[in-house]
Amino acid sequence: MQASIRKNYLYNLGYQILQMVMPLITAPYIARVLGSEGMGIYSYTHSVAYYFLIAGMLGVNTYGNRSIARVRDSQEVLNKEFSSIFQLQVFTCLLSIIVYVTYVSIVPLEYKWIYFIQLIYILSAVFDINWLFFGLEEFKITVLRKTIIKLATAAAVFLFVRTKSDLWIYTIIMAGGYFLGQCYLWFSIRKYVRYVRQPMRETFKHWKPMVILFAPTIATSVYRVMDKIMIGLLSSYEDVGLYEAADKIVIVCLGVVSAWGMVMLPRISNLFATGKLDQCKKYYVDSIELITFITSAMCFGLAVIANNFIPLFYGKGFDQSIDILKWLAISVLFIGISNTTRNQILIPMSREKGYLLSVTIGAVVNFFINLFLIQQIGVLGAVVGTICTEFVVAAIQVFWIRKSIPVGRTLLKTVPPMVIGLGMYEVVTWITEYIACSVVWTIALKVTIGALFFMVVTALYFKLTKRSVTQMVQSFK
């Protein structure tokens, strides 16, 4: 029997909490050992390798998740679907690896040895079958695997990365950890599915729908990864490190949002396949409101602690990351809306055209804003580009589903959480301005006051609207 949405979300949330805690331990250490330039070199080479990895995966994570969720009630069909998708994945991944090795060997690149080490990261795509377990809604297994690997990777960083010259060791640890994480899942596969060799026609029937979902992935990566590449080309590796420092914190917080989308995508896909459209729509409307409360708390929470948190977290040389984090946090609000719309409407219901259009326009907007502003105002230009892009993507996706969902009524529910979040920011800033204490105690005080304010005002809001937070959460069975 499949686990409930709440249970699966708690598994994923538990891992995201680990994701939030581990950087508190490892990132400051790496920042001090490798410096902003070392972090920038790793981030830049990793970003390049990432393109080859997603090219090899060819949209299989999303497509495979949806496909498995739709056929999981029949074991025979499930075996065939998994086998044919996996065969195509192996083919495209090996092709991508060949192109990457050729590129690194021929093109005169600085830090070539780091690029070659990143090959381990790309190779992991061959063994990545997360999509199978996501489609089956077996999140406990993937969370356990990620937790073990995350802890082992962190321990290895402290043990073996000691000086700036250990950048190559750090790269091996990060890429190797990711590789082992993908291989780990294969020990559990026999319980759920059996590989049955499929003819070529069955394998390549997935090509077109996977490419359709791959196109948005590429477009999305332009404004999620290309930022760092463009900063490196138009500014400096140091600025890449400053941007990476702030972006890393935002990405960790976004894990809470992506965990929800990850859990809801297979459930909505299965409901849609069985014709339960009204339930799909109800889940979407409730999810938008719930996610906006979460993202508002994170957005304004990050902004209010940035002044104290960045110097404590990263040490000297990262002061510019304070402003980057404050502004970059705004994008969290728009990402919450677009992530929910994408994973609960567009992808499960095979409406990829709206998804593709939104991220393609977003990528174009991001590219030109970066091209113009990075040269004018440096790394903050990339921040402006990211905020504008995430707004455009969310707006287009919501506009695309306007005939299926009561968009006006749904978006109206996002206003109160944002107002409460802004109020939290103002109150916390005003109160702590008159209190002098150490950095650690200042952060703790801001978090405590902010959390109390947000929870109390949220409770009052639900009481005034005669609704129950508990009932809304319990609706996600």
List helix spans (H) across 136-236.
139-160, 167-184, 200-204, 207-224, 226-234
User: What letter would DSSP give residue 166?
Assistant: G
Supply the pLDDT for residue 1: 41
Which among 27, 393, 37, 34 is positioned nearest to 231, based on CA atoms? 37
Supply the pLDDT for residue 63: 87
What type of residue is 66? R
Q: Under a CB-based contact definition with an 8 Å cutoff, are residues 222 and 363 in contact?
A: yes
User: What letter would DSSP give residue 1?
Assistant: -
Threshold 0.85, pTM exceeds: no
Please report the DSSP string for 15-79 in residue order.
Answer: HHHHHHHHHHHHHHHHHHHHHHHHHHHHHHHHHHHHHHHHHHHTTHHHHHHHHHHHHTT-HHHHH
Supply the pLDDT for residue 232: 81
Structural Rg of the chain based on CA atoms: 22
Supply the pLDDT for residue 335: 92
Q: What is the C-alpha to C-alpha distance for residues 203 and 169, in angstroms, rounded to an integer?
A: 38
Tokens 């590449």, residue located: 229
Q: Which residues of the chain have pLDDT under 50?
A: 1
Supply the pLDDT for residue 230: 84
Supply the pLDDT for residue 134: 84
Q: What is the C-alpha to C-alpha distance for residues 115 and 262, in angstroms, rounded to an integer?
A: 30
Q: What is the pLDDT of residues 175-211, one digit of tens each?
A: 999 899 888 888 888 889 999 998 888 888 898 888 8
- The count of other CB atoms within 10 Å of the CB of residue 188 is 16
Q: What is the C-alpha to C-alpha distance for residues 409 and 183, in angstroms, rounded to an integer?
A: 45
User: What letter would DSSP give residue 344?
Assistant: I
